[in-house]
Chains A and B, each alone.
Chain A
Amino acid sequence: KAGVTQTPRYLIKTRGQQVTLSCSPISGHRSVSWYQQTPGQGLQFLFEYFSETQRNKGNFPGRFSGRQFSNSRSEMNVSTLELGDSALYLCASSRGDHTDTQYFGPGTRLTVL
């Protein structure tokens, strides 16, 4: 069974630009969660999508948004990039029951110049 895949793996953007990251969950998984990892703040929860609906949200500004498609694939968008948005962005998928184990992808390394 294929694992969680994320594209692209690496990305370089400049301040003020926007970026879209993609996550394909494990087959059969309906929940996708996004996390941001930085050296200063560690791993922080961004949001979770289930059946195309956001059902949980972390404490991030509105510049961070996401969506989920009918095939459970998810995208995360960051608008008006700031230097502090440089991070490893991770997505995790699960079947969707709130007790399910989440499995992580390899992450997208975003660098904002």
Chain B
Amino acid sequence: DAKTTQPPSMDCAEGRAANLPCNHSTISGNEYVYWYRQIHSQGPQYIIHGLKNNETNEMASLIITEDRKSSTLILPHATLRDTAVYYCIVRVETGTASKLTFGTGTRLQVTL
């Protein structure tokens, strides 16, 4: 399985951009990078995913390096509600099925 490495915790001031890094140096060519977040004791919430191009949606932007060995999730204007654990996941393909392999994630604390 392709592994991901994330910093255990980060702080961000409200209104500022939060930039969450992820290293996935063993990623294979057809594996996607997914980002989820989990607010305390709730189910993980899908944020965004990408293969090789940068992606943007209403929640965040995903920047993937050209060699695909790392990526950055950007929350452009963090709010207190963005305080959560953020998981960077490389999707493991097993034939016609797949599973999400969660690491320990980054605990983002947004402060006033």
Judge: A and B partners, yes or no. Answer: yes
Q: Quick check: is A58 within 8 A (CB to CB) of the other chain?
A: yes
A103 with B98: CB separation less than 8 A: no
B97 with A50: CB separation less than 8 A: yes
Interface string of B8-31 (1 = CB under 8 A from A): 000000000000000000000000
Q: In whole angstroms, what is the CA distance A101 to B104 when docked?
A: 20
B98 with A98: CB separation less than 8 A: yes
Known A-B contacts A56-B98, A56-B99, A58-B99; A107 and B46 likewise in contact (beta carbons under 8 Å): no
Task: Tell me which of A104, A106, A109 has the highest count of chain B C-beta atoms within 10 A of its own C-beta.
Answer: A104
Interface string of B45-56 (1 = CB under 8 A from A): 110010000000
A56 with B49: CB separation less than 8 A: no
Q: Quick check: is A21 within 8 A (CB to CB) of the other chain?
A: no
Interface string of A46-58 (1 = CB under 8 A from B): 0010100001101
Q: Quick check: is B101 within 8 A (CB to CB) of the other chain?
A: yes
A-B contact pairs, 20 of them (CB 8 A): A42-B104, A43-B44, A43-B102, A45-B100, A56-B94, A88-B41, A98-B96, A99-B32, A99-B91, A101-B34, A101-B46, A102-B46, A103-B46, A104-B36, A104-B46, A106-B42, A106-B43, A107-B41, A107-B43, A109-B41
Residues of A near any B CB (own CB < 8 A): 4, 33, 35, 42-45, 48, 50, 55-56, 58, 88, 90, 92, 98-99, 101-107, 109
